[in-house]
Structure 1
Amino acid sequence: MGTKSVGLRKLQSATAAGLGMVAGVIAAVAAHRGTLDAINRRLEKLEEQSDNQQWSNRAMQQRLHWELLSKAIDDPDLAEVLDLYEVPVTERQRRQYLFANALYTNLLWNHRMGNYTLDEFFKHARGIFQNPVAREYWEATRHQRDSLEGTEEAELGNLIDDLLLRLDEADTEEWWVVGEPPTDT
């Protein structure tokens, strides 16, 4: 009987030790899980900050673009540096083309930042390109857009090219109804 008691006590001790070990493992896993959750929350916050920083950088870049164009519009000597047009242009045309570029870039960035849907981009472009100077600018910069093949900007440029073709072929004075706005996907 004494042997059974000792055996039973050893079994109980082993069971208690095993349960203690399992409880310890569970506590360690729980603590580890808490640490992993904290790390995941921190990574999500860092990703969010990174996204905000990217948008901040893009906004800064757009501001710099406008400042450079403004200087070129105001100073004919600086504007000559940006004269990459396929045809010779006068100083006045160059300044107008630089401004048309600023309008288009603003439209492009409004779409990229989500301020305009693709439909809204299309409708604003349809308005901008009613102006003959904006159309001249578009044609004079065709070779620059051709170099963007395969990019989002090239796709948007093709959308405008198609729109301008439809506007030229339209037999209506109601330009605001010409062309089917694309659907956002």
Structure 2
Amino acid sequence: MATRKSRVRALGPVAAAGLGMVAGAFAALTVQRSTLDALRLRLEHLERSVSTPPHANLAHQQRLHWELLSKAIDSPELAEVLDIFEVPASPQKRRQYLFANALYTNLLFYYRIGNLTREEFHGRMRGLLQNPVVREYWYATQGQRATLPDGSEEADLGRMVDELLRQLEEADIDEWWVVGEPPGE
């Protein structure tokens, strides 16, 4: 009988740790889902508010992109289809990269429809690049950006972000918000 009670006591901390891990994972998924829902609502609002045909086409394309990314983020099986990164990525890392892609594409869309200036785009990217996962994503997708036509707006913005990232990594100050010269319009 004493042995049985010892096993039960020994399982207590293990069970508590397991329950804590499950609760933490559930909380993280809940936060991620609410973020995804907020972005979806923002996209729906933008679609309703865009009136000119070029912006309507961009809004429609952004919506389709978001729907595809959402499906891939929610499904590891579908995310494997989008695993075109230059380094192998675990399912968790792949989901993070896909979300980083959604954030970058959202900024790119805002810039294209005129909601952000080039300087504002630069500033927002400087903030995003403070996250190590976003930096990893940027490096893991450099081959994809290399295929963009040289004169394209997206290729130009990509080179700007490449330069900003290089400057951030070379900076030996803690004040990241002053690193990198904002681009001219």
* TM-score of the aligned structures, taking structure 2 as reference length: 0.71
How far residue 182 of structure 1 moved from its aligned partner, in angstroms, is 0.5
What is aligned with 1:157? 158
CA–CA distance in 2 between the matches of 1:53 and 1:160? 29
What is aligned with 2:132? 132
CA–CA distance in 2 between the matches of 1:86 and 1:172? 30
Bigger Rg, which one? 1
How far residue 54 of structure 1 moved from its aligned partner, in angstroms, is 2.1
CA–CA distance in 1 between the matches of 2:149 and 2:161? 14
CA–CA distance in 1 between the matches of 2:119 and 2:54? 25
What is aligned with 1:25? none
Could you tell me which amino acid in structure 2 is paired with residue 142 of structure 1?
A: Q
What is aligned with 1:92? 92
Written as runs of structure 1 = structure 2, the 5 A alignment for 1:6-155 is: 52-150=52-150, 151-155=152-156
Could you tell me which amino acid in structure 2 is paired with residue 130 of structure 1?
A: Q
Are 1:168 and 2:180 matched, yes or no? no
The gaps in structure 2 that reach 5 residues or longer are 1-50
Identity of aligned residues (%): 62
- Matched residue pairs, number? 134
CA–CA distance in 2 between the matches of 1:166 and 1:145? 19
How far residue 52 of structure 1 moved from its aligned partner, in angstroms, is 1.3
How far residue 63 of structure 1 moved from its aligned partner, in angstroms, is 0.8
Could you tell me which amino acid in structure 2 is paired with residue 120 of structure 1?
A: E
Deviations 1:114-141 (A, max 9, x none): 0000000000000001100000000000
CA–CA distance in 2 between the matches of 1:70 and 1:62? 12
The gaps in structure 1 that reach 5 residues or longer are 1-50
What is aligned with 1:33? none
CA–CA distance in 1 between the matches of 2:119 and 2:106? 16
CA–CA distance in 2 between the matches of 1:179 and 1:55? 30
What is aligned with 1:179? 180
What is aligned with 1:16? none
Deviations 1:68-93 (A, max 9, x none): 10000000000001000111110000
How far residue 149 of structure 1 moved from its aligned partner, in angstroms, is 3.2
CA–CA distance in 2 between the matches of 1:140 and 1:149? 19
How far residue 57 of structure 1 moved from its aligned partner, in angstroms, is 1.5
Deviations 1:38-58 (A, max 9, x none): xxxxxxxxxxxxx81221121
CA–CA distance in 2 between the matches of 1:164 and 1:105? 17
Superposition RMSD in Å: 0.9
